[in-house]
Amino acid sequence: RWEAVPLAPPDSIFKLTAAYKADTHPNKVNLGVGAYRDDDSKPWVLPVVKKATEILLNDPTVDHEYLPITGLPEYTAAAARLVFGKDSSVIKDERVASVQTISGTGANHLGALFLSKFYGWNEKRIYVSDPTWVNHHAIFPQVGIPVSTYPYYDPQTIGLAFPAFLETLKTAPARSVFLLHACAHNPTGVDPTREQWGQIADAMLEKGHFAFFDSAYQGFASGDLENDAWAVREFARRSVPLLVCQSFAKNAGLYGERVGALHIVAPSKEGAARIKSQLSVLARAEISNPPAHGARLVSLILNSDELFEDWKRDIKTMAGRIIAMRKELHRLLTEELKTPGNWDHIVNQIGMFSFTGIGPAQSQALVEKAHIYLTSNGRISMAGLNSHNIRYFATQLDKAVRG
Ligand code: PMP
């Protein structure tokens, strides 16, 4: 019956993880994984999450009934305040339609589905950065939206290809949809400066473009939740039409709990209500109701001053360790090993990932000869580095670069 179904290739990241797991070499290092690891390469349950879990366990009112279709209201409201800021006019005027989603992926999907049905397209198409999170290339075509790319990363400078990016914003048809990473761009770790964000907003306002913000790393970039929401808040303040896909996978370490939200900003409170009613129809057909446990945890954290302070401390622990690894890797390469080339991008890039600038052949050599697992584009997850393996990695990278 299913003879015509072709075998699909395995997901490249998950394939890399499987190869790492099967490797028995004592010095093996996994730099592919997009999840935080502590200094002993272990997953980290945030202390604030343990505390919130304890509270939930002892709460006699918690049951396993369905949540509303659009999610736990105290969670979605607090999540919107977290990204836009509680004093934002979009929050005060109640112009945000917020719906709980299956983490950031579900938010991207629901946002894409909503746009595919209701956006006033000149041409149905989304522009994503070149490169971007690989799943963006799958999510939009799934709902019938073709994907085009805009220049983003310049391999020459290992930085932002800003003039070419701006040019695409200016030449794309009016009312185009641009996907922007709110902070800590995946996979490059290269973010626009505030001045550049300002120019991006200018160009988008001029052409009437729509900003599809993907925010999977708030707090993870700089260690500061407010700072990492700056671009979204600035665009909202300047009335660039936008939506935000929000994930608590990384910043709360709740990967498997699938806690996310989609926030669509409307011109009026009444418009937000209409949008929310349609999002509810779409969510009903897809998932009926979102999962409760993770949303309850995040709601407790966001709505309690004490837990919120604890969370900020935990975020600083994670972001701080990653920033320390960047500094140490940079020091080892430039001062100790005197590796050929400029390595300043290691400390200038932001968030969990870093584009090292090495090519596919060198990346492959690291995997095959050194048991260091990374994607062929030279991207490394800084979270995979720690005080025990960083010297080994730097030495092997140095070897690969020298050839
Ligand atoms: N967007 C980007 C840019 C990401 O890097 C990720 C996680 N890899 C996500 C969205 C979604 O992740 P999740 O569904 O686990 O929240």
Q: Is residue 295 part of a domain?
A: yes
Per-residue pLDDT averaged across 135-163, rounded?
96
Residue 337 inside a domain? The answer is: yes
Q: How confident is the model at residue 79 (pLDDT cuts 50, 70, 90)?
A: very high
> Which residues, other chains included, contact 382 with Cβ-Cβ below 8 Å and sequence gap of 6+?
322, 325, 326, 329, 352, 353, 354
Classify residue 10 by its DSSP letter: P
The whole-number average pLDDT for the span 148-164 is 95
Q: Structure tokens of 113?
A: 């589905």
Residue 10 pLDDT > 90: no
Centre of ligand 1 from the C-alpha of residue 247, in Å: 7
Q: Is residue 314 included in any domain, yes or no?
A: no
213 found inside a domain = yes
Contact residues of ligand 1, CB 6 A cut-off: 34, 103-105, 133, 181, 186, 214, 216, 247, 249, 255, 260
The residue whose CA has the least distance to atom 6 of ligand 1 is: 216
| Per-residue pLDDT at 12 | 80
Q: How far apart are CA 276 and CA 263, in angstroms?
A: 9
CA of 34 to the centre of ligand 1 (A): 9
**Domain boundary residue among 246, 274, 303?**
303
Asked if residue 230 and residue 121 are part of one domain, the reply reads yes
Q: How far is the CA of 212 from the centre of ligand 1 (A)?
A: 14
Confidence at residue 151, expressed as pLDDT on a 0 to 100 scale: 98
Res 271: pLDDT: 98
Q: Strand, helix or coil at 325?
A: helix
Q: Which of 247, 298, 375 to mutate to test the pocket of ligand 1 (most atoms within 8 A of CB)?
A: 247
For residues 196 and 339, membership in a common domain is answered with no
If asked whether residues 168 and 212 sit together in one domain, one would say: yes
15-72 residue pLDDT tens: 888 999 999 999 999 999 889 999 999 999 999 999 999 999 999 999 999 999 999 9
Question: Is residue 64, in this structure, part of any structural domain at all?
Answer: no
pLDDT beyond 90 at 14 = no
Q: Is 130 labeled as catalytic in the residue annotation?
A: no
Q: Are residues 98 and 222 in the same domain?
A: yes
Closest CA to ligand 1's atom 9: 104
Domain count, the chain: 2
Do 99 and 243 sit in the same domain of this protein?
yes
> Of 385, 315, 367, whose CA–CA distance to 16 is shortest?
367
Active site residue 276: no
pTM, two decimals, is 0.96
The one-character DSSP state at 340 is S
**Within this chain, do residues 172 and 196 fall inside the same structural domain, yes or no?**
yes
Write the pLDDT tens digit of every residue in 270-286.
Answer: 999 999 999 999 999 99
**330: containing domain:** 12-45+319-402
Q: Can you tell me the ipTM of this complex?
A: 0.99
93 is catalytic: no
pLDDT value at residue 9: 87
**207-252 per-position pLDDT tens digit:** 999 999 999 999 989 999 999 999 999 999 999 999 999 999 999 9
Residue nearest to ligand 1 atom 7, measured at CA: 216
Among 269, 303, 337, give the residue marking a domain's end: 303
Picking from 303, 328, 357, the residue at the C-terminal end of a domain is: 303
Quote the mean pLDDT of the chain: 96
Average pLDDT rounded to a whole number, residues 322-340: 96
Within-domain flag for 88:
yes
Q: Are residues 267 and 145 in the same domain?
A: yes
H, E, C per residue of 247-314:
ECCCCCCCHHHCEEEEEEECCCHHHHHHHHHHHHHHHHHHCCCCCCHHHHHHHHHHHCHHHHHHHHHH
Catalytic residue among 44, 51, 228, 250: 250
Question: Do 345 and 203 share a domain, yes or no?
Answer: no
Per-residue pLDDT band for 382 (boundaries 50, 70, 90) equals very high
Rounded mean pLDDT, 301-324? 97
83 and 215 inside one domain? yes
**CATH number of the domain that 332 lies in?**
3.90.1150.10
Give the C-alpha separation, 177 to 120, whole Å.
10
Residue 60 covered by a domain? no
Find the CATH number of the domain harbouring 252: 3.40.640.10
User: Checking DSSP bridges between strand 353-355 and strand 379-381, what pairing results, if any?
Assistant: antiparallel
